Amino acid sequence: MGSERARPRAPPFIDPPGYERHRPEATLLYALVERHYPEFASAREAAGRPLPKYVKEEFEAYLKCGRLEHGFLRVRCEDCHAEMLVAFSCKRRGFCPSCGARRMTDSAALLADEILPAKPIRQWVLSLPFALRFLLATNPAALTRVLGIVYRTLSAHILKRARLTRASGATGAVTLIQRFGSALNLNVHLHMLVLDGAYLVGTTPPVFRRIAPPGQEELQALVERIAERIGLALERQGLLARDAENSYLALDPEGGGPMADLLGHSITYRVAVGPRAGQKVFSLQTVPAREEEPRKGVAQYVGFSLHAGIGVEAEQREKLERLARYVSRPPVAVERLSLTPQGQVRYCLKTPYRDGTTHIVLEPLDFIARLAALVPPPRVHLTRFHGVFAAHAALRSAITPGGRGAGAARRAASLERPAPQAVRMTWARRLKRVFGIEIEQCVRCGGRLKVLASIEEPELIERILAHRRERGEEEAPTAPLGARAPPQASLF
């Protein structure tokens, strides 16, 4: 009986140029969450303000995201049998940079390829007063009502400029609700990608009538109209009270539940935990202050700010996708995060403030509090479709590139082609689209890469990782944090 020949050892996998496996455990963000989140959660429990279940799940899922120890896919080249491992992701909507980037890419590709037609698009951005930010962060019904008021006001303006009525014309928009500011503060505001014109109803194919960009006087009139209509709507709901001189939101101090204090401090740029709770966050001014200059395409009124200065022409599809990525970007930029020599968290602002502020400085536990405030509550959609882009709009299938919507099947049948189907981008396609990295073919031999198995059993995971460590294919990450400071006695 002949002896069996030993199976040849597969060569090590060669990463494509520009690609490096995501190792969250080697990032400062991961180290901060891993070290300080348990202490923060315990302190909230002790203070009688435990974190909601969805916030706890966000942190716990993030600590498993991208870690091979919690499961992965085995990917092998069909020709040379070189293997690589792809860790599972948490797929959360809060502060995870990796999953936020994935969602940003998917959302932008969907909008550019399937939803927004080759027509002029304008970005409208509405910022809100502090009190209204708190209301919309804690009251999903109020958020939906306010968003409806804003869209109806803008669509009425567009139809009027196009010399159409709601009976003879139709426009549309996609709103991406952002919940963060550049200083990791909770800042609910609206980014709306709006058609720069309207379609004529009853024409086949639909005829588009473009309008000119809004002037400064029009912007001012619009922001005042939006503020007044929102005020009237909230007053009818009992959420706004007026007296002889002032109007104010009649908010329940505990309207945010156990998160109310964290949300309020985050919105107002104040420290949430520790002996300095309620005080302004430390900031660094490293550039000279500048005087406020009038901004073109921006109008302000009683805390509301309306911006409409960015337009995209019909043929500028790459610019449209870049804009869609910007408005759907994740809240935390890991590259702007660092530690001071004293162990505090320093976060660089995307753009310096007028007073010269370029960074904010937070204690680690206050940084965790900021992350907790950024987690959106469950079952609150952060992307909304209006007008001709709404799911059941009569014109959607006729004007969108994807051709999906009401009447899509009948339209496809008349053109003798199959009804369009939505196809989610794969991990490999996403890398190629955003970074130009080709990872569907083996760099070593050009063979096709194929997913072999999904590894989820802890014992099997450990055996595979131990084998890779023996072969020198898996290295232990270097910790980005130094020695841990002693715990604080009182936080809340």
- Over residues 166-179, the pLDDT tens digits come to 999 999 999 999 99
pLDDT band at 62 (very low <50, low <70, confident <90, very high): very high
Q: Within a 10 A sphere around the Cβ of 202, how many other Cβ atoms?
A: 10
pLDDT digits (tens, 9 = 90+) for 224-238: 999 999 999 999 988
pLDDT tier for residue 418 given thresholds of 50, 70 and 90: low
- Least confident range from 84-98, 174-188, 307-321, 466-480: namely 466-480
* Lowest-confidence segment of 23-32, 370-379, 405-414, 476-485 by average pLDDT: 476-485
Looking at residue 77, its pLDDT comes to 84
What's residue 244's pLDDT? 55
Greater confidence, 351 or 76?
A: 351
pLDDT of residue 411: 54
20-51 pLDDT, tens digit each: 677 899 999 999 999 999 999 999 999 999 99
pLDDT at 375 over 80: yes
Nearest CA to 367 among 58, 28, 19? 28
Kindly list the domain boundaries of the chain, sorted by start residue. 24-94+425-470, 101-267+298-335+369-406
Band (pLDDT 50/70/90 cuts) for residue 401 is very high
Residues sharing a CB contact under 8 Å with residue 205, sequence separation 6 or more, in sequence order: 398
Would you place residue 100 in the very low, low, confident or very high pLDDT band (cuts 50, 70, 90)?
very high
Name the more confident of 77 and 92.
Answer: 92
**Of residues 49, 461, 404, the one with CA closest to residue 257:** 49
pLDDT in tens, 424-460: 566 556 555 554 545 567 777 778 878 888 888 999 9
Give the per-residue pLDDT at 434.
53
Q: What is the pLDDT of residues 220-272, one digit of tens each?
A: 999 999 999 999 999 998 888 776 566 667 666 555 588 999 999 999 999 99
Q: Which element (helix H / strand E) includes 262?
A: helix 260-267
